[in-house]
Structure 1
C-alpha cells in the first residue's frame, strides 16, 4: 500500500464522529468550564450580596445573643446551630444552584451533552504502570504542562496589573471608618475578583478552537480507512448491483399488474411504451402513467396490452415526452393535456365503433400539440 494512504490526511466521516461520541470521545474545554464556574460565582455574589449580608448579620446577632439559661442547657447549642443553618440555607442554596447550573452549562457548551456507558466501563489497560508513565511523559502531557505554566504566568501578570492599578485605593481603606471601610473593602475585593476571573476569557478563546482542532486531528482517517468505511456502509458493488436488479424486477412485476387497467398504450415503435389511465369520474384528475418502459420492458407492456385488448397506438413524440417528464404513478404535465386528450378521444370513439354505436374514428393526427420544452 502506498505511503500516502497511511497518512491521516482525511477529515473524519460522520460515522467515525458518531463512533467516537459513543466512546465518550468528544471535544471538551476545561478552561471553559472553569471560567463559567468562577464568573457565575462572582456574578451570583454580586446579585445576592445584600441577601447574603442580611443573613450573615442575622446569624451573628443570633449566635452572639445567648441567654443565661441557654449557656447551661447542653441541647441549646444544637438547636441554635439548626436555627443558624436555616437562616443561611436560602441564600446559600440559591448561590450553589446558580453555580451548579453554570458548571453544567459550561461543560456541555462545547461538545454537547453526551452519556457513554462505554466510557464508564473499567479499562484495566489504564492500570498498567508503563502506560501511565507514557501518558505522564508523552507529548500531550508536555503540551498540557506548557499550557498550565503559560496560564499561571498570564493570570499572575494580570493580577499584578490589577493590584497596581488599585494600590492607591487599597491604601486609602485604612483611613475609612467602620463600617464604611469594611463595606468598601468587600465591594472592591469582589469587583477585583470579577475582573481577575475575566482574565480567563482570552485563555478560553484560545483553548476552545484548539480543543476542537485537536479532536478532529486525533480522529483523522487514512484514505484506505475512508474507502473501507464506505464499502462497509454501502456494501460490495456486486451485491448492490444484484439488489438493484431485484428491486427493478419487483417494480416491473408490480407495474405489469397495472397494465390491464390502462385505457391506452402509446408507443415509439422502436423503443418506448407508456400506458395511460384516466378516470372521468374525477373531473379534477389528469391522466396518470400506470406503466412505462424501454426495449424489453416496452415490448412486454405491448404484449400484455394486446392480450387484454387495450389499444396500442403509435405516437413517438408524445410517448418520449411523457416517458421523460412523468414518473410512474404520477399525472402527466399540463402542457401535454391537449395531446393526450386527442389520444383518449380517439380511444373512446374506437370503443364505441367496436360496440356498433358509432362511426369509425379518423386516424390519430401525426402532429400532436407538444410544447418544445417537453419534446425529447
Structure 2
C-alpha cells in the first residue's frame, strides 16, 4: 500500500508553515488565464495609445531608407552596417511595446501571489523526463480539464470576435482599395473594439479559472490529522523533550532554592509534609520566602536548615497556609504578618539568649 495520505483523509486546513513551505518550493495558486488577461490588457494599451506613435516611427524610418536607397552602401561590410543602423533606429520602437507586455506579465503574477524566487520548479528530476510519468500527465484528469477549458475559451472568444466583426463586414471589403493611412486607422479602431469585447469575456473566464485553481491548490495543501500533529511536534518540540527540559529547569530551580536555605531566618514545618524557609532582615518591608516544598523536598529543606543551624519551627496550619499562598522569592501576604512576626520575634530572642549565654 502507498504511504501517501488519502485525499479524503485531508480534513484539516493547511497551517501557515505548510503554506510557507509550498511558497518556497514554488507551489502557488497561479491561473494562466489571469496572465492571458493582463497580456490582452497590455495589447489593448499598445493598440490604443502606442500604435500611432509606433506606426509613425516605423514609417519615418522606412521612408528614409526608400528615399535614400541609392546612397546606402550594401556591398560587403557595408550591408552589415546598413542593417545595424536600421535596427538601432527601430529598437526603441520595438522595446516600448515589449516593455508594456513585460510589465503586464509581471503584474499578472503579483496579483496572484507575493514575489517568489525558487529554483524548485526548474530543478532536474527523473519524474520530469520519465515517459511513464509524462504519459500519466498527458492523459490525466487535469489534462482533460485543461483541454476542455481551452476549447470553451476558444469557442467563446471566437464567437465574440465574430459578433464584433460581422457588423463591419462591408467595411472590411472596402479596405482593400482604401488609402494605406486610412487602413491603419480602420485596423486600429477595429482592433480596439475586438480587444475590448474579448477583454470582457476573458475577465470572466480568468476570474472563474483563478477561483478553480485556488480551490484546487488549497485542497492540495490540506493536511491530515496526523500531519498536523507531526508538524506541531516539529514546531513546538517533542512532548518528551519538553518534559525533560521542564524537569531540568525544575531541578536547577530546586538547587538554587536549596542554596538559599542556609541564609534563611527560620524554617516553618508541618512537621513532615510541608516546609517553608523565610528570610527577614531589618531593611525588608516583609519576610521573603526563599524555599518551600512538600514531602521529599520538605525533608531536604529541613536537613539543609539543620546543618546550617537555621531554627526549625513546627506550625502545621501556618506552614500549609504559607505554602499555598506565597511563591519562592516573594514576600509573604499581609494576612500572615502577625503569625510570622511572632515566630521571627521568638527566633530573634532565642538567638540573643544563646549569644548572651555564650
Superposed pair shares fold, TM > 0.5: yes
Q: Pick the aligned partner of 2:127 from 125, 140, 153.
A: 125
Gap change, CA 1:209 and 1:275, over 3 Å in 2: farther
Gap change, CA 1:311 and 1:16, over 3 Å in 2: same
Gap change, CA 1:143 and 1:179, over 3 Å in 2: closer
- In structure 2, the residue matched to 1:220 is 222
Q: Using the TM superposition, name which of 72-81 and 120-129 deviates more.
A: 72-81
Gap change, CA 1:309 and 1:28, over 3 Å in 2: same
Helix, strand or coil at the partner of 1:101: helix
Gap change, CA 1:204 and 1:257, over 3 Å in 2: farther
Alpha-carbon distance in structure 2 between the residues aligned to 1:131 and 1:175: 56
* Higher relative helix content: 2
Contact 2:274–2:319 (8 Å) recurs in 1: no
Shift of 1:49: 3.7
Contact 2:269–2:276 (8 Å) recurs in 1: yes
TM-score by structure 2 length? 0.69
Q: Deviations over 1:17-44 (max 9, x none)?
A: 4444454433221111222222123224
Give the superposed CA RMSD: 4.8
Contact 1:258–1:290 (8 Å) recurs in 2: yes
What is the correspondence of 1:320-335 to structure 2 with a 5 Å cutoff? 320=324, 322-323=326-327
TM-score by structure 1 length? 0.66
Alpha-carbon distance in structure 2 between the residues aligned to 1:277 and 1:98: 80
Q: Which runs of 5+ in 2 are unaligned?
A: 353-358
Shift of 1:90: 2.7
Q: Is residue 167 of structure 2 the alignment partner of residue 158 of structure 1? A: no
Gap change, CA 1:34 and 1:350, over 3 Å in 2: farther
Shift of 1:65: 1.8
Q: Using the TM superposition, name which of 159-168 and 143-152 deviates more.
A: 159-168
Alpha-carbon distance in structure 1 between the residues aligned to 2:54 and 2:287: 79
Q: Pick the aligned partner of 1:247 from 236, 246, 249.
A: 249
Gap change, CA 1:118 and 1:83, over 3 Å in 2: closer
Aligned length: 342
- In structure 1, the residue matched to 2:355 is none
Q: Deviations over 1:134-169 (max 9, x none)?
A: 222221111111111111122122223333466687
Contact 2:10–2:222 (8 Å) recurs in 1: yes
Q: Pick the aligned partner of 1:148 from 147, 150, 172.
A: 150
